[in-house]
Amino acid sequence: MTNPTLTTLLNHRSIRKFTDEKLTTAEVTTLVDAAQHTPTSTFSQQYSIISVTDPEKLAVLGDITGHHWLEKSGHFFLFLADQYRNSQLVTATPATIANLHSTDKFLASIFDASIAVEAMVVAGESMGLGSTIMGSILNDVPRLIDLFHLPELTFPVFGLAVGHPAEKPECKPRMPQELIHFTNDYQPLTADSAPLAAYNKVITDYYQKRGDHPNAESFTHHVANELARDPKQRAKLNQALEYQGFLQHH
C-alpha cells in the first residue's frame, strides 16, 4: 500500500548539509501553517515557534548545540512549550495558577510542540526541503532563556534546521516491528532475541557502508554509547524547569 504521504513518511532522512538558498517568506508561512494544523491537547495550542534569523543568535545556537552547520540552513525554528500565553488569557486564581504550573500542563505543552515539529518536518519534505530536529539546544537552557528573553511558563523543546538539501544520505534502517509494536501487553526483550540480533547486524552493515564516518557500531552499542555520555551537560534541566515555573508544587 502506498500513496504520496506514505512515500514521504517512509523516506525520511535527517539533512545536515544545505545549499545557500534561504527559505522564502511564503515557504516559512506554509511550514508554520502546517505545524498549526496538528492536533493539540484540549485545543489549547500550548506551544510557540520562534524563527531565528539573527546571525549572532544562530552562532550562539551553534555553540550550544556543537553543530555550527545549523547556521547555514535555509531557516531555523525554535519550538517552545508555552503556557505563558494561556496565563495571559485567563483571570488568575489559585486554581488556574496551580494548573498552569503543573506537570500535566507542562507535558501537554511538550506534546503539542512535539506533534507540531513533526508536522513541519513532513510538510517540508513534501515541498522538497530537508531538516533535522535538534534536541541539542538543551545543552544550555539558561543561555537560551536569556538569549530569546523567554518568559516564565515557556521552555525550549527543539530546534529545527530546515533548508534545501545538499546531500541525500541513506535512510537509517528502523527496528523490526516486533521489537516496538506489541498486542495487548508489553513484551520485554529476551537475551537471545533473534529480531534484535538481526537488527544489530543490519545497523552494523549500514554504518560500515555509510559514506561519511563509517564504523562498525551495532544498535545495541549505539544505545550503550549514548547512555554512557557525561550527564553533567544537562544536569541542570530540572533547575531550569523550576526557574521557568514548571513542575512546581502548590
Please write the tens of the pLDDT for every residue from 173-198. Answer: 999 999 999 999 999 998 789 999 99
Per cent of the chain over pLDDT 70 is 97
Q: Enter the C-alpha cell of residue 156.
A: 525550549
Q: Report d(CA 133, CA 67) in Å as an integer.
A: 12
Closest CA to 87 of 76, 75, 70, 101: 101
- With cell 485545543, the residue in question is 43
CA-CA-CA-CA torsion sign (161, 165, 169, 175): positive
Q: Report d(CA 64, CA 50) in Å as an integer.
A: 17
Q: What pLDDT does 97 receive?
A: 85
Show the domains of the chain with their CATH numbers. Answer: 4-169 (3.40.109.10), 177-223 (no CATH)
Q: What pLDDT does 211 receive?
A: 66
**What number is the average pLDDT over the span 97-111?**
93
**Mean pLDDT of the residues in the chain:** 93
End-to-end CA distance of the chain: 51
**Phi/psi of residue 124, nearest 5 degrees:** -60, -45
- Residue 241 exposed, middle or buried by CB count within 10 Å (0-12, 13-18, 19+): middle
- pLDDT for 213 beyond 80: no
Q: How confident is the model at residue 98 (pLDDT cuts 50, 70, 90)?
A: confident
Q: Report d(CA 170, CA 203) in Å as an integer.
A: 12
Per cent of the chain over pLDDT 90 is 78
Q: Report d(CA 223, CA 196) in Å as an integer.
A: 13
| 39-61 residue pLDDT tens | 999 999 999 999 999 999 999 99
